[in-house]
Every structure is written in structure tokens, then in C-alpha cells.
Amino acid sequence: MPRSTATGLRALLLTALLSVLACAPPGIANETGAQDFQQIERGRYLAAAGDCAGCHTDPRGGRPYAGGRPIQTPFGRVLAANITPDRDTGIGAWSDAQFDAAVRGGKMPNGSRLYPAMPYPYFARMRQEDVQALRAYLNTLAPVRNDVHSNQLPFPFNIRAFMRVWNALYFKSGVYRPDPRKSPSWNRGAYLVTGPGHCGACHTPKTPLGGDLSGKPLQGYSIQGWFAPDITDDSRRGLGDWSPQDVAEYLKNGHNRFAGAAGPMSDEVANGSSQMSDADLLAIATYLKDQHSHAPQISPVSLQDPAMVAGSAIYQDLCSACHRGDGRGIPYLIPDLAGSASVASDKPTSIVRVVLNGAKTVATEGEPTGPAMPSFKWQLSDTQVAAVTTYVRNSWGHAAQPTAASDVRKARKQLDASGN
Amino acid sequence: MTERLPSKDVVIVGLGWTGSIVANELADAGLQVMAIERGPWRDAAMSYAPNYAQDELRYRIRHELFLRPDQTTFTFRNKMSQTALPIRTWGAFMPPNGVGGGGVHWNGETWRFLPSDFVLATHLKQRYGEHFLPADMTIQDWGVTFQELEPHYDRFEYLCGTSGTAGNLKGEIRDGGNPFEGPRSREYPNPAQEQPFSHTLFAKAARELGYKPFPQPSGNMSRAYRNPLGVRLGPCTYCGFCEWFGCANYSKSSPQTTILPVLVRKSNFQARDNCEVTRINLDSSGQRATGVTFVDSAGQEFEQPAELVILAAYTIFNVQLLMLSGIGQRYDPVANRGVIGRNFTHQTTSDVTSFFDPARFVFNPFIASGAIGMCIDEFNGDNFDHGPHGFVGGGYMGQVQTNGRPIESTPVPPGTPSWGARWKQAVRENYLSALKPGTGVHGSMYSYRDVYLDLDPTYRDRFQRPLVRITLDFHENELKQNAFLTDRFAEIFHAMGARQIVKEYRKGPYDITAYQTTHLCGGAIMGTDPSTSALNRYLQSWDVPNLFVMGASAFPQNAGYNPTGTVAALAYWSAAQIRSQYLKNPGPLVHA
């Protein structure tokens, strides 16, 4: 009967598990203790915090951490590496020191340089014992044979030696140093955000060469067809209206009373922050709420502007049933547009994309609903999408540049090209 | 070649309301659950997006969400003496299809049956004597009581976020609710919906006539709601596209908006869509199910072995699978023997269309929700003395108008030409001031010896299996009941100030082409005696104890309410018994 079957299965699994634990994975050239439970757990936690699986697992049916996922960079495509302990195609043959040099220094065992699609400039802030814990965890994975040729960049970017120049410009080594004037929670948050969490990889504006723009940390950047919004405490474009608890709740559940995570952030929540402790999430919130940016004030587009008139009518017709007339949706279900950092961001990238393509928010243990918005691509012309996004970005206290129909056309082409 | 799949603890046939409920309960018990659904996967936002879902032609007229009769259908006749013919386009009822089942397209009317409904035969015979009932009426007690089901009704209502006003809270009668309902253990999870003008006017007139009107219990949200599983619903926008339509505003309770988001996260739950189960397999003893056989959309046949089989398809398909699998003795109306196919019922509904002075009444009928409405229950079940009337049964009645959709909502006074300029003018004049509640009188249909399901001798489906044959007609008792209720209903519209009233009595013979609700019931009924019921009081097959059959096919007769609340309560009741008793000691839960 079901019950006895289930018990039998459990016993079988337990036996299998014990035998795996008894014989440590063969042939791993490392010095970390394979059976230090606490270290492995810490590594597993950091792998989640850094969402390593997010890049290192191919979403087209790839095995976890076996690499192959294409990562779009401004210079072309790289494929994420296989970081399972396979000796030939993964990192099984690396020493701990070689692993550390790659993660924190961007250096491969053969002396060549990694591309910063692997966010080693952030991981450089990590403490050595955390990097070793990460290694210990990765060692527990089943080795997967998957030969990935990471470098798919066009000439001249495919010459890895250029990375020496890039590193000279943008890479600073050095472990995170706590600020004694701040609380332990603030410092923990700073460590997670600037180190393993590598929030700035998406949220910090970049130079034309893809390095972090100095002096503008976490103030928003276009990436992968989305705009990763300003996540400083800025009241107009950032998290100003959110309490630290709101920030922590969003990271834990993907939803709070204002917003729901979609796009790349929904992967981050599902694989990353939803797995983190409440204390760490509150620490991240504490740190973010203490970051400031000073966006120039601009005036909203006039209500008499033809785009605003048309946009208002489209909004009433198609958007207001869910997002309501005042742009305040339904807490935890329909995201607010009023006061939203994604709406108010410098570029309309995300809002245009969501109107065109629709979006599904993340479903998590804490908020399993995962509500979605439909695509309006088939229903609205470029001019209409431009009008309604201009309206939303200039209503309820928002002020932003009007959306150009040509930007919508470009976004539509890109979505079509990517098969969306 | 049939491919044999790895065995599961549980296989569930159909992933609608009951399939989802039982799957979630049994997955929570730690079992490996596989659900097999004939139709497609349906996701709220993606499958009927709010920017195209309000399409009356596509969904209402062309039956987008329903089974296609060319995939499978039924044959129909009124009388045993007639030759049944296949239904080629749906009319009287709409067989659902796809994940969510009827829970996708329903209106959300979430009623409880009366305590006396569950002991109907005993109750009526006690009150009116043995001879008051027609000789060929075959009504029975259910074997389960209202008191036993109450916690399970409550669970479903809290799952759905049902909006309503309690009329009987732990025995205390409350103003504004239904004073006839059985005692409920707590308030509805959400307050009643706001009611449009015509609905409140109906309530006012009803009150002045001495009735006690109350808001219809609604699966459309009156406010944002988070259910006990953590799933969120949003407030209804009163768009008037509810019945026949899916709701991607997350405002109508459905498996998609209440259970499935949690169920699909469970690693011990799996589902296969677009796969049709063709039979339940039995071992050589014939008393133990070994799993099911199904066919995928490519025509490949699979066997899914399982320790426990849950039949959770639509009424007729449950009965058909039992018959085709040789489970239980098929009903023979001549010999009055056998159980599978017996006590098949539908609903006895009618309507009143009323015309008001356009200068004085602007009803804006397009502002509505699926389960909006003000109702009275004075004429339901045995809430009134039937002695002087010569019939039994009854129903709720109410201004329950759910929409003013353009294709169907064109009521014009009798005598208006059916096309042309004068018709257009009459539509214009009356659109805002005419009322057409739809199934305004929602009456019971009791069971009879010659109303039943069996296998058609001629027509077969695409797998060469015989189609189910429906033999169904209205009996004198139901027609009398309907005439009486329709007259009472019309009186209320008269009191509202209608200047013209058209009573649309339900008349025989039963018409398979005209919509009358999708509430088909019976055919595999529950009870206390294996010679007159297919299932025991826990919905367990008397013949094959590792088979449970969910759904309205278990109703011994139909009450004067929409069935979903009771269907779901029975599913929770059965699942609770499987978890607490059956899994510990698999075997018959009742020894007859």
C-alpha cells in the first residue's frame, strides 16, 4: 500500500545517501574537508545568496551548475562555465587556491583572464573562508561532463589579454572591510550586497566598457532587455517609500505590498534571496536604505500633451481594472505603478517590455500565487505603447522623459528576435 | 504498444475542482500523486488573458472553454421507447474540458444544501407520508449529514474566499442572511458583494412581500483575499464576463486561483494534460483497481499503475468510465436492479423577463458578476409546506442577472419583430430597463426510475467505446414545482414596478438544445445500501475499495441549489477519510 511503499522508498534513499557519504567523490583535487557539514551548508547558502545556479545552469534543460547558459554582454555572448566537480570539463581538478583566484581574482588556472560576466570584481570582496565554503559545497555536487566553450565573443573582444587593461581600469582587489561607524547588520548587508550578492552587477550603471560607473552605485542600469532600477533610498526613483521590512519581504517572497518581482529579478528571488535568512535580508535592506542618490529633478510631461491624453484613455481602458485609476494596484497581487522604481526609472525599458510582452511574477513558498500580466503586443501600436507608458511615467507624482515610438519599435524587434 | 509507467500511490482522473482538492490533500499526506487531464493546461493570466477574455462570440457562442463534441459526446432521448441520437452541439449543459474543469467557467455560486436535503427520502416520508411521493420517484438519503459536511463546506468557502452574509451562525438566525440555511460554524470569509440597482430593487420588493432576501453566496471576491494556502485573489471588477469565461483578474475562485499555484510546487505531484483516460484497470479478482489506461494527444497508449484511483471527471464521464471498466452492476430500469447509471438528474430552472419604464428605470445590466444577486429561499427544498401543492422539491429564486453582454442581452417585449428597424429600436429602448435574470428560478430535480444513464447500443467514440446514452424527461412533479415557483418569482417583479412581465415556465419535454445549467448529477450515487448506491458515504466504491468517485455523480438527487459547494465539501470529506482511515487500513471503510 502507499504507506509501506513510501516507507520502503525512504529507506532505500537513506541507504543510497549513506553510501554516497561513505565514499567521498573520487578524484577531487582539493584540500577542503569533504565532510565538514557546517562548511558545506555555509557554502550552499552562499551559492544561493550569489545565485550561482542562475548563470551556471542552462535553463534549456541543463543539469544544475553544469554551465552552458548564454550570458549576453554588451560585447557579445559568453557561455557560463561548468562548475561541477568534473575533472575534465568542470572544476574538479582545480586546487582550492586556483578556485579562489578565479572567484576573487578573475584568473584561470592556466593564467588566462575571466570576462566580468563572471562578477569576480564583486566576489573579490568575499572573505577567503566564504570562498572555501563555496568550494566545499560545489564539491558535493555530482560531476557532470559538459564541455563548455565560454568565449563566444567576436574579435577583438575574444582576446582575453584585453582583460588586463579592463582589470587595471575597473578591478579592485581587497576583502570587504567593515565600517566601524555602522551597525553589524549594516555591515553584514554591505558585505552581501557588494560581495557575494553582486547586486551592482545589474543595478549599477556601467561604462561603455562594462565597468561599474564610479560614484553611482546601485542607481539603475539596462540589462537583458530590462531596466534594473535604482535600489538606493531615493524617494523618486528608488526604494524611498519602502521600509526595510518591505525590502526584506520582497527579497524573501518576491512580493510585498507594493511590487512583485518579474524578469531576471524573479530568477534571483527564486534561486537566491528567497533561500536566505530573514536576518540577512533585513541586513541587506538596512544597507540599501542607507544608500543615497541624487537624481536631477525634472518636470512631468504636460497633461495636455497628445501622448498624455491618448495614454490616459488607453490606461483607463486597458490598465485601470487591475492597476486601478490611481496606479495603486492590489497589495501582493497587482503591483503598484504609482511610486514604482521600475516605472519611474531613467529609461522606460522595463515598462515597455512588460506592456509588449506581459510578465509573470515569481511564485515562492511565501507567496505562491505568481500573478501575471498579459501581453499587449498584438493589441497596441508602437505609438500607443509609447503614449500609455509616457502617461504612467508622468502620473501620480512621476516625472520622466516621454517614451519615443521608435524605442518601442526597437524593443518589439528585439523581443521578436529573441523568440519572445 | 502500451507503455507502462512507473507506479504511483495515487492516480486522479480529471484535474478540476475535486481533482485539485483531492490531489492537494493526498500530496500533503506524503503520497506520490499523478493527475491525468483530458484537456489542455489552463493558466489564469495566460490562457484567458483579461485583454481578450471578454469575447462573447468566442467563449459564449463558440464554446471556447468546453469539450468539443467531435472529441466525444453523448446520445440523448426523452423516453425509453425512443431511439437516442448523438448531441452534435452543446445545449442544455456544457461539459468542461481542461485543467480547472468547470471551475474555470462557472459563475462562482457557492451554496450549501439544506440539512433536510441530505435525508430527503426519510424527511419527506415522515412529513407527508409514504404516498405523497410519486410512485416512480427514487429519491434516497445521502448517507452523510449536513452536520458532518459542515466543516468541509467551511474549508471550501475559506479556500475560495466566498463572499456572503451568514444567515444562521451556530444556530442564531442573522438579519440579512439566508435564515433557512443550516447552522454555519463561522462567518463567510468575505462580506457579500455590492449589488447593482436591479438586484437591490428586487430585494426591496421581496422584503415588502414578506420574504427574507439575502445576497447570493459568491465566489467572486468582494475584496482582496489571501486564502489559507497563501494564494491571493483580487477584488471583482463587476465586468459581467464570468459564466462561460475564465477570470484572469484573479477575482473568481477557481482551481487556478486557489489551489493549483500551491499544488504545482509540490515535488510529489505531477500532472499530464491532453491525456484521456480510457479505462480503470482491475486485477483478476475484479475487486481491486490496478491503475488506469490513458491515451495522449499523439494516440500513444499508456498504463499508469497506482495503489489508489480517484475518479474526478465530470458527472457523465465518471459514470461512463465505471461502465466501460466493468465496475459495479449497470442499472436496469426495467428490472429496477443495478446501480451504475441510476438516479441521474439535472436542474429545473426557469426565468421571468420583465420590462420597466425606460424613463424611470436605468439598470445598467452590464455591471454584474457571476454570482451577484439577491435571492430568497422561502420556496426551496422543504422550507414550505408542500401539502396543499401536490409536489415536492423547490429552489431558490432571485435577481441573479450576471451580465448585459451584447449578443445575448437583447430582451424585447412580446410582439416585437425578430429583426429589422423595429427590432433595433425595441432593443435600444429596453436594453437598460429590461431584466432577465437567467436561471432566476433554480429548482430541484428529483430522481426517477426511468431517468438514467447507460451505454448507447449504436454510437461510439473515437476509441470505439460506446457513447453514454442519456434518458431524461421532466416529470409532473418538477413541472408543477416550476409553475408554482415561477409564479411567485413573477410576483416580485410585479412588485418592483415592471410594466410587462413574461413568464418563461419550464415545460416538458426536456429540451437538450436549450441551456439549463451544467449541473448534471447522479449516475454513481452515494448511499447506505450497495443494492441502490454505487458508493458508500465516503465516496468509496462498494465494489472496488481502492477506487473513490468524486463529483456530483454521487448526488442521489439534485437539490434546488448550484452543486459546486456540495461537490467540493464531499471531496474534502472523502479526502479526510482517506487520510485518517483508509491509508492506515486500506479496504472498505463501510461494511454493508
Q: What is the pLDDT of residue A77?
A: 86
Q: pLDDT, tens digit, for every residue of A199-220?
A: 999 999 999 888 999 889 999 9
Residue B561 has what DSSP assignment? Answer: S
3-state secondary structure of B301: strand
> Which residues of A lie inside 8 Å of B (Cβ-Cβ)?
1-3, 5-6, 318, 321-322, 330-334, 358, 360, 363, 365-376, 379
Q: Does B41 touch chain A (CB under 8 A)?
A: no
Q: Count of CB atoms within 10 A of residue A413's CB?
A: 10
Domain B3-582: CATH architecture, name and number where available: 3-Layer(bba) Sandwich (3.50)
Model confidence at A154, pLDDT cuts 50, 70, 90, reads: confident
Residue of A nearest to B27 (CA): A2
Q: Count of CB atoms within 10 A of residue B579's CB?
A: 16
Asked if A104 and A172 touch (Cβ cutoff 8 Å), the reply is: no
Q: Do B50 and A372 touch (CB under 8 A)?
A: no
Q: What is the pLDDT of residue A12?
A: 42
3-state secondary structure of B521: strand
3-state secondary structure of A221: strand
Residue of A nearest to B306 (CA): A2
Q: Do A366 and B250 touch (CB under 8 A)?
A: no
pLDDT of residue A408 exceeding 80, the answer is: yes
Q: Do A372 and B45 touch (CB under 8 A)?
A: yes
Q: Do A371 and B231 touch (CB under 8 A)?
A: no
* Locus of grid cell 471550501: B156
Domain locations along chain A: 26-170, 184-288, 306-417
Q: pLDDT, tens digit, for every residue of B117-170?
A: 999 999 999 999 999 999 999 999 999 999 999 999 999 999 999 999 999 999
Cα–Cα distance measured from residue A353 to residue A227, given in angstroms and rounded to the nearest whole number: 9
Model confidence at A32, pLDDT cuts 50, 70, 90, reads: low
Residues from chain B contacting residue A5 (CB–CB below 8 Å) = 7, 9, 307
Q: At what angle do helices A349-357 and A405-417 cross, to 10 degrees?
A: 60
Cα–Cα distance measured from residue B396 to residue B217, given in angstroms and rounded to the nearest whole number: 12
3-state secondary structure of A253: helix
Q: Which helix (H) or strand (E) holds B313?
A: none
Q: pLDDT, tens digit, for every residue of B80-96?
A: 999 999 999 999 999 99
Domain locations along chain B: 3-582
Q: What is the pLDDT of residue B376?
A: 98
Residues from chain A contacting residue B308 (CB–CB below 8 Å) = 2
Model confidence at A34, pLDDT cuts 50, 70, 90, reads: low
- Residue range B535-564: average pLDDT? 98
Q: Do A373 and B262 touch (CB under 8 A)?
A: no
- Between chain A and chain B, the number of residue pairs with CB atoms below 8 A apart is 84
Model confidence at B176, pLDDT cuts 50, 70, 90, reads: very high
Q: What is the pLDDT of residue A419?
A: 67
Asked if B543 and B528 touch (Cβ cutoff 8 Å), the reply is: no
Residues from chain B contacting residue A2 (CB–CB below 8 Å) = 9-10, 31-32, 307-308, 583, 586
Asked if B438 and B401 touch (Cβ cutoff 8 Å), the reply is: yes
3-state secondary structure of A49: helix
Q: Does B250 touch chain A (CB under 8 A)?
A: yes
Q: pLDDT, tens digit, for every residue of B212-254?
A: 999 999 999 999 999 999 999 999 999 999 999 999 899 999 9
- Residue range B272-293: average pLDDT? 98
pLDDT of residue A22 exceeding 70, the answer is: no
Q: Do A6 and B32 touch (CB under 8 A)?
A: yes
User: In chain B, pLDDT over 90 holds for what percent of residues?
Assistant: 98
Identify the CATH number of the domain defined by range A306-417: 1.10.760.10
Catalytic residue numbers of B read 519
Best to test chain B binding among A7, A369, A373 (most B CBs inside 10 Å): A369
Q: Do B51 and A330 touch (CB under 8 A)?
A: no
Q: Do A322 and B235 touch (CB under 8 A)?
A: no
Residues from chain A contacting residue B224 (CB–CB below 8 Å) = 330-333
Cα–Cα distance measured from residue B528 to residue B152, given in angstroms and rounded to the nearest whole number: 20
- What nine digits make up the cell of B142? 445521502
Best to test chain B binding among A7, A318, A330 (most B CBs inside 10 Å): A330
pLDDT of residue A274 exceeding 60, the answer is: yes
Residues from chain A contacting residue B269 (CB–CB below 8 Å) = none
Residues from chain B contacting residue A366 (CB–CB below 8 Å) = 230
Residue B57 has what DSSP assignment? Answer: I
Q: Do B249 and A322 touch (CB under 8 A)?
A: yes
- Residue range B422-436: average pLDDT? 97
pLDDT of residue B259 exceeding 70, the answer is: yes
Q: Does B369 touch chain A (CB under 8 A)?
A: no
Residues from chain A contacting residue B307 (CB–CB below 8 Å) = 1-2, 5
Q: Do B586 and A363 touch (CB under 8 A)?
A: no
Of the candidates B30, B49, B265, the beta carbon closest to that of A368 is on: B265
Q: Pick from B553, B551, B117, B521: which is nearest to B328 by CA?
A: B553
Q: Return the higher-pLDDT residue of B19 and A294.
A: B19
Asked if B338 and B332 touch (Cβ cutoff 8 Å), the reply is: yes
What is the 3 state secondary structure string of B245-291?
Answer: CCCCCCCECCHHHHCHHHHCCCCCEEEECCCEEEEEEECCCCCCEEE
Q: What is the pLDDT of residue A23?
A: 40
Residues 6+ apart with CB under 8 A from B407: B56, B57, B60, B61
- Residue range B420-444: average pLDDT? 97
pLDDT of residue A13 exceeding 50, the answer is: no
Region of poorest pLDDT, from A21-30, B32-41, B445-454, B490-499: A21-30
Q: With a CB-CB cutoff of 8 Å, which residues 298-317 of chain B face chain A? A: 307-308
Q: What is the pLDDT of residue A31?
A: 54
DSSP E strand stretches across A100-259: 221-223, 226-228
- Residue range B546-562: average pLDDT? 98
Q: How far is A384 from chain B (nearest CA, A)?
A: 15
Asked if B456 and B439 touch (Cβ cutoff 8 Å), the reply is: no
Q: At what angle do helices A349-357 and A382-393 cross, to 10 degrees?
A: 130
Q: Return the higher-pLDDT residue of A121 and A12.
A: A121
Of the candidates B31, B45, B229, the beta carbon closest to that of A374 is on: B45
Q: Do B30 and A6 touch (CB under 8 A)?
A: yes
Output Rg (C-alpha) for chain B, integer angstroms. 23
Of the candidates A330, A358, A360, the beta carbon closest to that of B234 is on: A330
Q: Do B226 and A6 touch (CB under 8 A)?
A: no
Of the candidates A3, A321, A360, the beta carbon closest to that of B50 is on: A321
CA B401 and chain centroid, separation = 18
Asked if B91 and B515 touch (Cβ cutoff 8 Å), the reply is: yes
Beta pairing partners, B33: B10, B269
Q: What is the pLDDT of residue A8?
A: 43
Would you say the pTM of this structure is higher than 0.90? yes
Chain mean pLDDT for chain B: 97
Q: How far is B262 from chain A (nearest CA, A)?
A: 6
